[in-house]
Amino acid sequence: MSGYSRAEVMQRPALCTFLHGPLTSSVAITQMQLCLSAEEERHLEVLLYKKDGMNYMSSFIIMLLMIMLPKFVRSFVTLTTEPVA
């Protein structure tokens, strides 16, 4: 989806900073940071960039899972495969 291999994305920050680009909303990124630090569930749509520079809209669903220890799970779904103008 992003053009990066699994090895390239492993151990990267939860905010996916390597996928941010010039049109990525700083407001959405700030909301994601606040959500993760406050352990709040949230749904966000963020414009991200593929390795080749093409952009796409991604839908993030952040939720807390209780499995022995509280952990956050980040899930995202691509809303479009076409570049966003």
Q: Where residue 65 sits, what CATH number does that domain have?
A: 3.30.450.20
Residue 33 belongs to a domain: yes
pLDDT in tens, 19-69: 999 999 999 999 988 888 887 888 888 999 999 999 998 888 887 766 655
Residue 85 belongs to a domain: no
**Nearest CA-CA partner of 50 in 14, 85, 3:** 3
Domain span at 16: 6-78
Residue 83 belongs to a domain: no
Q: Does this model's pTM top 0.75?
A: no
Residue 52 belongs to a domain: yes
Residue 70 belongs to a domain: yes
Structural domain tally of the chain? 1
